[in-house]
Structure 1
């Protein structure tokens, strides 16, 4: 913890972490709010899963593009534009009566315009700390973002179930405006400029580390999205159990990130951490099948075990990407990794929704377990593709230019 305290004393670090967590807080609310709102309006989890899939596909499509735009037009301009459009789409979802197709269209627009805060802040980090502090900062960031997943599901569940799903979406729009303004106006966002990449769009995916991180992110977040839908279906939306159990899942991740963030990251780090996630989710399948949905304590216990591996796995993902690309390519690389995660979220949510309608919540937990197990297998099979960061900092590769020589 002393290392984390030293990090937070570094000028600008605590402020930028707090601002980006606030700006990203709606990320932990939107999926659950849309799930509850669309299910309430249509009466089916399958339709809600389709709308969530549309929103995730929109984010996946736009992520690398808007991240790369930040190197062309600057972070503040891109973040302001995307935030404004996203707020308008969320307001339409909340206030305009429509069918499933309409919800899918506005869900897609909201996804396409999601502000690329995550790519921006992880591009800023190497410029505000020294090389020795960067890997611990990625671990701290991956851990603290779980505050979003601890508090946001509880907040949106309380508002949506006790007040209304429309009010829940309006709350999301308000936080998008307030949190986005705080982050956009942060001095670091104006001070750090991303160089224009000299390589073609998408070429960064040719780096094996970036491709591997994208695939792993797809599988890990696919598992987490399936868990979210499974928990809501298990406990319904008439009480607080669903939000509290999802919060417990994130508490496990927060604890795992803080406990293991100081451990050096070797090539096997990802495989070990994903195996922990898989074990917890496999146990959850049998717990729900054997004792039914009436005991949140047992489901919560399984999800604590699974959660312990989530933040540490994300920390490995961020650090290995930073250490393997040029600074001008970091934002786009994180954009592609976000695309992988969001495609995973789309498929995880859709698969879980249809399995819930077909076989019940246990099927959705089974889908989550499959995503996690495949992730662990991929990390094991391609272990040589992971950089060894033990004794090495995670700073991006410096951009170099030819130096003119007079002869």
Structure 2
């Protein structure tokens, strides 16, 4: 743990982690808030799934595209513009009365304007710490990120059930605006300039570790989103119990990330961590009481942050610095689509089978996320004893003869 203390004492690290987590907090709130809000309006989880699907399409387009734009126009202009548009879309969904297709259009606009905070900060990290500190920093960040994906829904569930779904969406917007402004004001954002990538758009996906992290990240967060929806549906009459169970899940992930953050990353690291998520999630489908879910989701949570840390590290070690923003844009897109699609699939299965259907959906996502890194283990770099920093960009240099 002393290593994490040294990291947080490094100039700017604690500030930039806090700012980017606040700005990205709505990523763990919006899908669930939309699910609850649209279901309440139309009395159908399926209708809510359509809105989440439209949002995910926008996010799929936005992630790598806006990330690449940061290498052209800079971080601050791109993030500022998307921040304004995304905030406006949240306000429309919260307060406007629209037909289902209207909410789908607004969801799509909000998705395509999702601010590229994650690729920005992943690009900044290697410039803030030494190469030996980079992998522990990814682990620390992945552990803290669970506040977004797990604790975010806890807050959303509590506010939506105890106050209103409108209040839950407004709260997400407050985090988006406040955190976005804080991140933009951070000195580190102005100090790092992302070089313009010389490769064609999407070419970074030809690097196997980037594609592996994108696909497995999609499946991991899809499993998380399905679990969140299933927990809420299971404790429909008692939102407080749902919030407590999700909080225990978050604690499991946080503890796992901090405990395993310094373990060297070998070629089977991602598969092992995803297997933990699958086992806990599959067991949850058969233990729907409070204590059963608390225990099984504590187990599932222990694999989440460690798996994310592995994904961040193998991407960083496999690309050039000019490609990092776009690479993390693709990874972030996979995660955001997973969040929306996981909620949507779980919603339909919950309508048909009850809460157990949602947990089985999450288990299916996690199982695929375990099998894929086993089948494609050669795409997973062995980082034991290796530097996880991005490769330096090289170009011809004129000399005087």
Q: How does 1:65-80 map to 2 (within 5 A)?
A: 65-80=65-80
- Match of 2:121? 121
Structure-2 change in CA distance of 1:346 and 1:154 (3 Å): closer
Higher mean displacement: 63-72 or 172-181: 172-181
1:259 Cα offset (Å) = 0.5
1:165-203 Cα deviation digits (max 9, x unpaired): 112222222221111100011000011000000001001
- Match of 1:58? 58
Alpha carbon RMSD of aligned pairs, Å?
Answer: 1.3
Structure-2 change in CA distance of 1:156 and 1:78 (3 Å): same
- Match of 1:103? 103
Structure-2 change in CA distance of 1:150 and 1:271 (3 Å): closer
- Match of 2:188? 188
1:1-40 Cα deviation digits (max 9, x unpaired): 1000000011010110111111111122212211111111
**Distance across 2 between alignment mates of 1:50 and 1:261:** 38
Structure-2 change in CA distance of 1:98 and 1:260 (3 Å): same
1:44-71 Cα deviation digits (max 9, x unpaired): 1111122122212211210000000000
User: Within the alignment, does 1:287 sit opposite 2:287 as a pair?
Assistant: yes
User: Within the alignment, does 1:81 sit opposite 2:81 as a pair?
Assistant: yes
**Distance across 2 between alignment mates of 1:44 and 1:195:** 46
Q: How does 1:217-366 map to 2 (within 5 A)?
A: 217-236=217-236, 239-288=239-288, 295-366=289-360
8 Å CA contact 1:57, 1:346 repeated in 2: no
**Distance across 1 between alignment mates of 2:203 and 2:45:** 38
> Structure 1 regions of 5+ residues with no counterpart?
289-294
- Match of 1:205? 205
TM normalised by structure 2 equals 0.97
Structure 1's consecutive aligned runs of 4 or more residues displaced over 4 angstroms after TM superposition are none
1:247 Cα offset (Å) = 2.0
8 Å CA contact 1:153, 1:244 repeated in 2: no
User: Within the alignment, does 1:403 sit opposite 2:397 as a pair?
Assistant: yes
Aligned residues: 401
What SS class does the counterpart of residue 239 from structure 2 fall into? coil
- Match of 1:291? none
TM normalised by structure 1 equals 0.96
8 Å CA contact 1:153, 1:247 repeated in 2: no
